[in-house]
């Protein structure tokens, strides 16, 4: 059984899924910054960033924007990679590659949709951070990974900033508190000040084993099966018949070929001397 990860200062080894995400984020972060500074071009960045004013015009931006980082400074790229790396590696070991990729994608999409929802609900005269024109960055994914890690490893310890030991169940509340502080102080997050709350919701719903979403789905299926079982009658079971097998198209019709041991014994004449019959 996969237990909680040991308390250690060693660097975890990421799997192939997390390595691919980190590599794509690093390459795009460096390339888009270099292109904006030295090539006076931002075609790649403009094609991947999420436009809040046209939320569903190009749906791939809901996901691709999570791979971008701030082009004006390297700190956003470094802290994004560290946040995904230290908490994502244990999750990939427990979940597997495909579940981790689905989880990160859901978190980024949930963060962007939360930004769109707040932009539509908040009055137009609200402060600018609630009405961003474009958003990008893995902030929602990092918040979701932190919440999922805290649920999977509630009794384990992670070292925040490499020196502050925090247990998993405490990390959950620390993550929520940091997101609230970013909202109160209206920090200039490229992801948007409300996007991390979408990541928190994704972490609470789809993190843990089993997750809350899967548990709710299983309870719903169980309720449906119980309801069908109460309305099932004995006549329905007895009247049910297995579907007949259909022949292969173009196959010859089936027929019974006479022969076999029984037919041979029936046509055989018994001997007159029965001493040797057993």
pLDDT digits (tens, 9 = 90+) for 24-63: 999 999 999 998 888 777 888 999 999 998 888 889 999 9
Query: Cβ–Cβ contacts within 10 Å for residue 105, how many?
Result: 16
Strand partners, 158: 166
Peptide bond into 210 cis (omega under 30): yes
- Rounded CA-CA distance 119/109 in Å is 15
pLDDT tier, 158 (very low <50, low <70, confident <90, very high otherwise)? confident
Residue 52 lies in a domain: yes
- Rounded CA-CA distance 82/26 in Å is 11
Q: Quick one: pLDDT at residue 185?
A: 83
- Rounded CA-CA distance 106/223 in Å is 27
Residue 99 lies in a domain: yes
CATH of the domain at 28: 1.20.1540.10
Helix, strand, or coil (residue 134): strand
Residue 230 lies in a domain: no
Label residue 209 left, alpha or beta by phi (over 0 means left) and psi (-120 to 50 means alpha). beta
Q: Quick one: pLDDT at residue 165?
A: 82
Q: Quick one: pLDDT at residue 7?
A: 45
pLDDT tier, 164 (very low <50, low <70, confident <90, very high otherwise)? confident
Residue 226 lies in a domain: no
Residues contacting 174, CB < 8 A, separation 6+ = 160, 166
Q: Quote the DSSP letter at residue 9.
A: S
More confident residue, 151 or 254: 151
Q: How many domains does the chain have?
A: 1
Question: What is the average per-residue pLDDT within 70-85?
Answer: 91
Of 105-114, 220-229, 244-253, highest mean pLDDT: 105-114
Q: Quick one: pLDDT at residue 146?
A: 94
pLDDT tier, 1 (very low <50, low <70, confident <90, very high otherwise)? very low
Task: Tell me which residue range forms the domain holding 163.
Answer: 16-220
Residue 85 lies in a domain: yes
157-160 and 50-51 beta bridge pairing:
unpaired
- Rounded CA-CA distance 143/126 in Å is 25
pLDDT tier, 98 (very low <50, low <70, confident <90, very high otherwise)? very high
50-51 and 134-135 beta bridge pairing:
antiparallel
Among 4-8, 87-91, 272-276, name the one with the lowest average pLDDT. Answer: 4-8
Q: Quote the DSSP letter at residue 157.
A: E
Question: What is the average per-residue pLDDT within 15-23?
Answer: 94
Residue 259 lies in a domain: no
Residue 8 lies in a domain: no
Q: Quick one: pLDDT at residue 203?
A: 94
Residue 269 lies in a domain: no
């Amino acid at each position: 059984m996969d237990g909680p990860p040991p308390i250690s200062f060693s660097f975890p080894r990421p799997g192939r899924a997390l390595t691919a995400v980190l590599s794509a984020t690093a390459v795009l972060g460096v390339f888009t910054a270099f292109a904006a500074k030295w090539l006076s071009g931002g075609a790649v960045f403009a094609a991947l960033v999420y436009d809040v004013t046209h939320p569903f015009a190009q749906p791939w931006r809901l996901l691709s924007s999570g791979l971008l980082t701030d082009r004006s400074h390297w700190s956003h790229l470094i802290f994004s990679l560290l946040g995904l790396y230290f908490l994502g590696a244990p999750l990939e070991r427990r979940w597997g590659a495909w579940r981790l990729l689905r989880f990160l994608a859901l978190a980024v999409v949930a963060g962007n949709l939360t930004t769109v929802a707040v932009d539509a609900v908040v009055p137009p005269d609200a402060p600018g951070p609630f009405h961003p024109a474009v958003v990008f960055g893995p902030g929602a994914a990092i918040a979701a990974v932190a919440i999922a890690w805290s649920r999977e490893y509630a009794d384990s310890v992670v070292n925040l900033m490499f020196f502050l030991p925090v247990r998993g169940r405490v990390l959950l509340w620390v993550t929520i508190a940091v997101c609230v502080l970013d909202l109160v102080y209206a920090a200039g997050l490229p992801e948007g000040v409300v996007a991390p709350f979408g990541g928190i919701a994704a972490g609470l719903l789809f993190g843990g084993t089993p997750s809350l979403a899967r548990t709710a789905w299983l309870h719903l299926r169980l309720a449906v099966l119980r309801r069908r079982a109460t309305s099932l009658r004995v006549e329905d079971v007895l009247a049910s018949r297995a579907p007949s097998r259909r022949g292969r198209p173009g196959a010859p019709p089936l027929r019974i070929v006479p022969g076999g041991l029984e037919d041979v014994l029936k046509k055989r004449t018994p001997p007159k001397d029965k001493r040797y019959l057993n």
